[in-house]
Each structure stands twice: as structure tokens, then as C-alpha cells.
A and B are shown apart, each in its own frame.
Chain A
Amino acid sequence: MMRWLRAIGTWLDARLGVRESLMPMLTHPIPRGSAGPMGWWYVFGSASMTMLAIQIITGILLALVYVPSADQAYKSLLYLNEQQYLGAFVRALHYYAGSGMVVLLLAHMTQVFLHGAFKYPRELTWVVGVFLLLCTMGMFFTGQVLRWDPDAYWGIGVGASMAGRVPIAGPTIVGLLLGGPNIGGDSLSRFFALHVFVIPGALLAFLGVHLWLILRKGISEPPVPGQLVDPKTYDATYHKEMHEGVPFLGEAFLKDALFSALAVIVVVAIAALLGPKGPSGPPDPTLSGANPRPEWPFLWLFALLSLSPPEAETFIILIFPILVIAALFLVPFVSNRGERAPSRRPIAVLLVIVTYTILGVLTYEGISSPWSPEMNAWSGSPVPENLVRGRSPLELQGAVVLQNKQCRNCHALEGSGGRRGPDLFGVGTRLTRDQIIDQISNGTPGGGNMPAYGKQVNPAEMTALAEFLVGLRPGGAPKALPASEYPGTEGSQATAER
């Protein structure tokens, strides 16, 4: 029996040449240091590849059931969630393994950046890696659209509105993106084709080049402070080091495999615990209350866009992403020699810290999105009881005006309500009656964040509203006074003398 198997193996190998081609790849020598304890830094790339494998498998499984058609996609998603055996789990796994892939990709990229592994002769490996990052982000965006719920529908709308700002070519780009004059079945088919054929094809091609470059140029050795990279001497030094190298198929492979296995266990556990994401509702554009949110890898951009002044907006939409991507591509060409150890590259370390702090803060802002009005606050968040107790009838009428004129959609009272404008609790200590009326009537000067309510509020309503707001002072704090009446100013003396 064994003899037969061996004979078949030999017959196949004589034709396929596995022993000649694949085995040397698996056993290619890597620097001794990369197999030691420092090797734990090298596990992120292979783990993100493991996540990619999960994505391919779960993606094919989902494609067996999902229907990429505008009128059926939502139904097939509900079927996957509720009726298909383990459908909910596979959907959840596809989402969380995708998220894991982004996280591990960022970890891998950060490690490569901090250890200066992108320097000579691995510049191109980094560049191809940036393409892999772009493909992964593209997969995330197109994947969200396939979830064909209001977030997906209006998400395409936001994307199209951004693309529509490109000078001259804008409308053409929008038309090509949507596949027609409106968001519909043509748009879904396009994003399906991108998500399932175009981007995965590009991603696998880039991954092939990435791996080929790793084999051609070798795994980088762990950085040693003071050991400089010099393109003139590096190849010879690395070649010499490889004489004492160890095969990849050994300790290094075991580390990769162990970490990948742990990553898979974590992702499977999260998917089983949290379940699938969405769809959040039927994709009916006439349903009110849509509040599209981008997926988490894009929240920072969403926040940046929302927090920037309108004049900078077109720049942030059109130019800024190009600058970021260009900067990533240029990393190995800005510095491809010299120190690799993070302890000798303070600017690189600082860049990483600053970048992650900015991304973290913006993502946090994106989650809480204080710039979005709360569309139901006017009818759903009543004025807190302690703010109306013991008030005069006129003031109570003012509280009703405050609710009815949708002020609460943007203004919170003691923390409940919209946060686009300031919390009005305590406004009576900041603004005088006249200032309050001016602010309500004319809005923010220069067309800022608050609309002018002058025509929307009649004089009686205004009087009541101002009365209520002047009384919003925590713990009986003193009223705001006009500057002329402030104690100790010339104006106040004049008043006193009079």
C-alpha cells in the first residue's frame, strides 16, 4: 500500500516538481534572530493572510445564498440571519474576520514601519503592501453596500455626493459609480462585481507579488541599534548572515501558525457571541430617520469631514485622501537607509504615536458623532422635571416652545437631546435676555451652525422662550448681565450714579 502511494507521489512530483519548487520556498533560510523571541513581531502578516482565507471561504458560502438584486438582497439577508442553518454565524464571521484582517494589517504595517523593514531592499514590498491595504479598505466599503439596508443606500448617496464634487468629471464619475441615474439594482450589481470579482482579483495578484518579493529579498533581520542599512553593502551582509540562517519551516512557522490559530479562535468567538451585523432595516429610501454611518475603518474620515470647516471640505474629500495614500507610498523612498531600530528613530516612533492618537480620537468622535442632530429629541426627550418645577406660566409656555420648535434636536438639556449646539442648561448665566433673543432670531452670525428663527417664532413665543431660557441657571446662579451693568466697569458706575 505504502509502496503504491509513494509511487504515485513520485510520479506526480516528477511532473509537478513540488519538491524542486515549493519545498525550497517553505524551507527558505531566514535570519536566526527572526526565528528567536523577536520572531513574535513577525506574526501579523501571516495572520492577516489567515483572515483573508476565512474571508474567501465565508464569502463563497454567503454567495451560495445571498441574492445581489435590489429587490431580493434584503430578503436573502434576513433568510441568512433567521432561517439558513448557521447563516447568522457565517455572516458574523465574515464581518468580524474582515475587521480582524484590517486590524492585523495595520499591526503588520506598524511593525514593518517601526522596525524599518521597508528600507533597502524591501521598498517595493512596502509599496505592494500599501496596495493590499487599499484593496482591503475597498473590500470593506463595497462589502458594507452589499448589506443593502438604509446605511448602504445612503452610504452610496454620500459616496456619490463626494465624487460629484470632482471638477468637471464629477457627474460622469457618479453615473459610472451608480450604474444609472439613481441608486438601485445597477448600483448593487456594480458593488457586488467589485466586491466579489474585481477587488479580490487585484488583492490576490498583489498578494502574490508581495509574497514573491518576500522570498526574493528575504525576511528582514530584527533591527539592531547602530547596525545601519547601506544599499551598497546590505546584500552582501544579508547573504553572509543567511549562511547561518534557519529554515522558515521551523520555529518561525510555528510562531506564525500558533498566532494565526489564536486569531481564528478569537474571531470565531466574537462572531458567535455578537452575531451578524445588520441589515438595520429595509432599503426603502422614503423611510424617514435614516442616519447613515460608515463602517468603523472609515469613521475617522467621517469625523474629520464633519469637524472641518465647510471651506476645507472639498479639499478633505478630494485631495486629502490622495495625499495620505501618496505619503504611504513614499515612505520607503523618503528613507531607505540608515538606522532601523525604533530606539534610534524617534521621529518614526512619534509619527506612529501621533497617527494612532489622531485616528483614535477621530474614530471616537465618529462613534459619538456630536455633530449629528437627534431628529427625535424634540418629541422624545421631554424637558427634565426639575427644570420646570416652580416656574411661572410664561416660563412653562417657553419650555413648550423650546420643544415644539425642535430646538432640542440640536440642544441638550442636562445632557439629553442633540449635541450639535451647546447644552442650554445654564444658558441664563452665559447670555442675557437680549442676547438670547438676538441669537434665536438671527442665528449664528455669518450663516454658521444655528439657523435664524426670526420668521419661525412669533413675538409671544419668543417672549416665553426667552423667559424660560433666562431662568435656566443651575442652583440659582446669578443671571448674565450686559457688559454695561457688570460690577466694576465704567458702565456700571454710570448706572449707579444715575
Chain B
Amino acid sequence: MSHSSPTGLPSTDVKPGRRTFLQRLMLWGTIAAGALATIALSIPLVGYLLGALFKREKDWVRLGPIDQFPPGETKLKTFTNPLSQPWDGMVAHTGCFVRYLGKDEQQQPQFLVFAVNCAHLGCPVSWFPQSGLFMCPCHGGVYYENGDRASGPPPQGLFKCVWQVVNGQLEIQAPHLPTLQDTLTHPAWTPAQPRKERS
């Protein structure tokens, strides 16, 4: 018959030294296994969440032949942003303002391409050719035709898109949602090279 331990539970009949060693091994083994399990579980799950950050790809969007942009005029161009999901529908529609500045000394065409997002809190600005100003409907941010801040709360000018001219076609780098520390010309991190082939 086994005697009762102070806790009221019957003690197991092993030698004291051996028991504490086994118990300690059990305790530390459990802690180690638990830590390993936590790491094994959290690395993939946190990684899955962080995957949202690695969807940026370097991709170019064709806006059209450069002769469709008259010099000195600002035009709203809309396009379907390739940085989107197939199920995004009309939400992938994106706009940008294109202003053709004419050719520079090397006969290279020069453009200003602005994102529609106000530098204040991201609302869409509207272009008013009569007064040559961009105005934001949210808090009254105003920008000049060259994108510089004219008045109101914006801390800086309009966000500029990265553009290039290839074979007489104006292209812009597919834009992400620009914010103050993550602009289109100075992104917070370099976009990955595209995995999919461009058509």
C-alpha cells in the first residue's frame, strides 16, 4: 500500500533523486517542446500576414502615344492598375494626371505625371484648367499646375509617378497607394521584379 503525499495524491514509488531528475527533465522538455512548437507555428503564420508587403512588382502601364498629350495641357488618364487582384473589378481603375512639358534640349519629351491622391490624407484631387489649379474636396488642399503645394493643409506637393517613353509611348510605373514616407519616386522598399510576363 502506498502512503499519501501531503497533497493527498498517492506518490509514485521511485527513488527521490531519480524522481526529481525525471520531473525536471519532463518540465524543461515540455518548455523546450512548447517553445519549438510556438516558433514552428508562428513563423509561417506571421509570414503569411507579412506576405501583404511583398505584392509590389515592378510593372509598367502604357498610357498611350505621346502625341495624344498636347503640350502645356493637363489630362486625367485612367488605366487598370496591374498591382491589383483579378477580383478587384472597378476598384482597380486608377487615375493619374499627365502634363506634357514639351521637349528638352536633347529633344527628349518631358512629362509630369501626378497621382490623384492628395498629399494631405489621400483624397482624390480634381484639375481645374480655367484656374490652373488642383483642388482637393476633403480639406481644401490646392496645388499649382506643376504639382507644387499652393495652399491648405498638404505638407508637400502632389505625388509624382515614375514615367518613361518607349517607342513613342508614355508609360508609368504601376503605382501603389502613395503616402508621405512611401512616395512613388522614393518608395519605402524596391518593388520585386515581375514574376508574370508582361503582354
- Is A451 touching B142 in the complex (CB atoms < 8 A)? yes
Q: Mark out the residues of chain B between 159 and 199 whose CB falls within 8 Å of any chain A CB in the assembled complex.
A: 175-177, 179-182, 188-189
Closest to A71 in B: B89
**A291 in the interface (beta carbon within 8 A):** yes
Question: With contacts A289-B137, A443-B150 known, is A160 near B179, CB below 8 A?
Answer: yes
A100-108, A150-158, A424-432: which lies at the B interface? A150-158
- Residue pair B117, A186 in contact (C-beta under 8 Å): no
Per the bound structure, the CA–CA distance linking A285 and B177 in Å amounts to: 12
Per DSSP, chain A at the interface is loop
Q: Which of B140, B181, B182 has the most CB of A within 10 A?
A: B140
Q: Does B130 contact A (CB under 8 A)?
A: yes
Whether the pair B124, A164 counts as a contact (CB closer than 8 A) is no
List which B69-87 residues lie within 8 A (CB) of chain A: 76, 78, 81, 83-85, 87
Chain B residues, Cβ within 8 Å of A168 = 181
CB <8 Å contact, B131 and A406: yes
- Cβ of B123 within 8 Å of any chain A Cβ, yes or no, is yes
How large, as a class, is the contact surface on chain B?
A: 35 or more
Given that A153-B91, A443-B150, A449-B151 are known contacts, is A170 also in contact with B181, CB under 8 Å in the complex?
A: yes
Of A10-18, A112-120, A174-182, A360-368, which stretch is located at the interface? A174-182
Interface-central residue, B83, B95, B153, by most chain A CB under 10 Å? B153
Query: When the two chains form their complex, are residues B49 and A290 in contact, meaning their CB atoms are under 8 A apart?
Result: no
B131 touches A283 (CB 8 A): no
Give the contacts of A303-347 with B (CB-CB under 8 A).
306, 310, 313
Hey, which chain B residues are within 8 Å of A306, CB to CB?
139
Q: Does B122 contact A (CB under 8 A)?
A: yes
User: Would you call B152 an interface residue if the criterion is a C-beta within 8 Å of the partner chain's C-beta atoms?
Assistant: yes
Residues of A within 8 A of B76 (CB): 286
Q: Are A157 and B122 in contact (CB under 8 A)?
A: yes
Interface flag for B60 (CB, 8 Å): no
Q: CA A455 – CA B133 in complex, angstroms? A: 11
Residues 139-158 of B, flagged 1 when their CB comes within 8 A of A and 0 if not, give: 11010100001111101000
CB-based contact A181/B83 at 8 Å = yes
Asked if A39 is at the interface (CB within 8 A of a chain B CB), the reply is no
CA distance A455 to B144 in the complex (A): 10
In the bound complex, how far is the Cα of B81 from the Cα of A70, in angstroms? 14
Partner of B139, one of A175, A176, A371: A371
Within 8 Å of chain A (Cβ to Cβ): is B22? no
A165 CA to B149 CA, complexed, in Å: 18
Q: Complex Cα distance A371/B130, Å?
A: 22
Q: Which residues of A contact B139 (CB under 8 A)?
A: 306, 371-372
Contact of B52 among A186, A291, A444, A447 (CB under 8 A): A186
Instruction: Say whether A194 faces chain B, with CB atoms less than 8 Å apart.
Output: no
* B52–A180 CB distance below 8 A: yes
* Contact status A180-B83, CB under 8 Å: yes
Is A453 within 8 A of B91, CB to CB? no
Q: Are A182 and B83 in contact (CB under 8 A)?
A: yes
Q: For residue B188, which residues in chain A have a CB less than 8 angstroms away from its CB?
A: 170-172
Complex Cα distance, B94 from A452, in Å, reads 30
The closest CB in chain A to the CB of B54 belongs to A175
Are A372 and B85 in contact (CB-based, < 8 A)? no
Quick one: which of B40-96 are within 8 Å of A by CB? Answer: 49-50, 52-53, 55-56, 76, 78, 81, 83-85, 87-95
Taking Cβ atoms with an 8 Å cutoff, the residues of B that contact A are: 49-50, 52-53, 55-56, 76, 78, 81, 83-85, 87-95, 116-117, 120-124, 126, 128, 130-133, 135-140, 142, 144, 149-153, 155, 175-177, 179-182, 188-189
Closest A-B pairs by Cβ, 10 of them:
A71-B89, A164-B179, A451-B150, A171-B188, A181-B176, A161-B122, A157-B122, A171-B182, A451-B151, A184-B88
Known: A154-B123, A157-B123. 4 other contacts (CB 8 A): A70-B85, A160-B177, A282-B90, A286-B95
